[in-house]
Structure 1
C-alpha cells in the first residue's frame, strides 16, 4: 500500500528516477518487517511438539488483527506525507502495523513440515538452519510480489493517471487488507495437518 508514496515522491520532485528509488526504499522496509516477524519463528521451530498450537495461535492472531482493522478504520493522517528519505522506515512500520509479516506466519509454519524424529543437536541445528532459510525465502518472495504489484500500480498512476487521479479517484484499501488477513487466517486453520 506504499505505492502512492512512490508516485508522490516522483511527482513532487518531478524526477522519474525518484519513483524507482522510492519503490526500492519501500521494498527494503517491507523486507525488514517480514524478517523481523519470520526469523524469530524460524528459531521457535525447535519446539516441535508445539507446532500445531503455535500455528493455531498465529492464525487466530491474524484473524483478530483483521477484525480489529475492520472495526477501527481510522488511519493516522501524519502517514499521508512521508519524505522520500524516510520511506524505508515508513514501509517497515506500516508492514508491522498492518500485520504483513504476521500474515505469513501461519503459511510459513505450514511450509516448514516439522517431522523430525531425531532429537539430537545435529537434527535441531539442521532444522533451525533449514527453517531460517525458508523464512528468508518466504520474506523475499512476499517482498518481491508486493514490490512488483505496487510498482506496477505506481508506474501506471505516474505515467497515465497522474496527480488528478490520486486526489479525486482515491480508494481505501484498508477493508480489503483486513479481509485478506481474516481469509489467510481462516485458510491456515482449515489446512492444519
Structure 2
C-alpha cells in the first residue's frame, strides 16, 4: 500500500500538477502544500469507498471469488486504459477552492482506477487479519487494518506529491515538463495490467 501510494503520488494525474499550477498562478510555494491536502483527502476517500465495497463483497461472496473478480476487473480496465490512455476526464477549470479540489481528486482517483489498483493489497490485508485472528469480529478487524493501510497509502502519496511538486517549483521549473515529459497515462495503464496479473496469480 505504501509503494502504491508513492506510485500514485508520482502520477501528475493524481494531483501534484494541479497543485503546482495553483502555486505558480499565485506565486506561492505555500499554496502548493495547502492544495495538496484536499487532493490527498479526496484520494483517500476514493480508496475508503473501495474498502467498503471490498468488505461488503466479503460478506456475500467467497474470498477466492472476490480475488478472481478483482483480477478480471483490473485486467479489463487495464486493457481499456491501454487503448484510451490519451483520454482525460475534464470536470473543473483552474479557478477552484479546497472543496473543488477534494471532489476533483475523488472523481479523478475513481475514474483512473486508483482504488481498483489497491484491491489486491487490501485483500492481502484481510487475509492476514483472518489468519491471525480466527475469533472475535473478523469484519471489524479487517476493516480497521484496511483503514490503517489506507492511511499509510495516503501519507506516502502526500509526501511524494509534495516532494515532486516542490522540486519542479523550486529547482526545475515548467521547462522540464515541456522538454522531458513522461507519458504517465500509458505507464498507469501498464501498471493496471501488472497489478491485474499479480491479482490473477494470487487467485490461481
The normalised TM-score by structure 1 is 0.86
Higher Rg: 1
Which digits, 9 at most, give the CA deviation of each residue in 1:5-38, with x for residues without a partner? 1111100011121010111111011001100111
- Name structure 1 gaps, 5 residues minimum: none
Q: 1:37 aligns with which of 50, 69, 75?
A: 50
Q: Residue 45 of structure 1 aligns to a residue in which SS?
A: helix
The normalised TM-score by structure 2 is 0.82
Q: Residue 14 of structure 1 aligns to a residue in which SS?
A: coil
Match of 2:141 in 1: 130
Match of 2:7 in 1: none
Please give the alpha-carbon distance, in whole angstroms, between the structure 1 residues aligned to 2:92 and 2:191.
Answer: 22
Tell me if the contact between 1:112 and 1:131 (Cα under 8 Å) persists in the aligned partners.
yes
Q: 2:86 aligns with which of 48, 53, 74?
A: 74
Match of 1:142 in 2: 153
Q: Kindly indicate whether residue 168 of structure 2 is the aligned counterpart of residue 154 of structure 1.
A: no
Residues 1-193 of structure 1 correspond to what in structure 2 (within 5 A)? 1=12, 2-47=15-60, 50-76=62-88, 78=90, 81-85=93-97, 86-113=100-127, 114=130, 126-192=137-203
Please give the alpha-carbon distance, in whole angstroms, between the structure 2 residues aligned to 1:188 and 1:7.
Answer: 34
Instruction: Return closer, same or farther for 1:161/1:109 CA change in 2, 3 Å cut-off.
Output: same
Q: How many aligned positions are there?
A: 187
Tell me if the contact between 1:41 and 1:105 (Cα under 8 Å) persists in the aligned partners.
yes
Tell me if the contact between 1:31 and 1:139 (Cα under 8 Å) persists in the aligned partners.
yes
Which digits, 9 at most, give the CA deviation of each residue in 1:65-97, with x for residues without a partner? 111100112323746853341221111111001
Tell me if the contact between 1:30 and 1:95 (Cα under 8 Å) persists in the aligned partners.
yes
Note the C-alpha offset of 1:111. 2.2
What is the CA RMSD across the aligned residues, in angstroms? 2.4
Q: Which moved more, 1:129-138 or 1:70-79?
A: 70-79
- Name structure 2 gaps, 5 residues minimum: 1-11
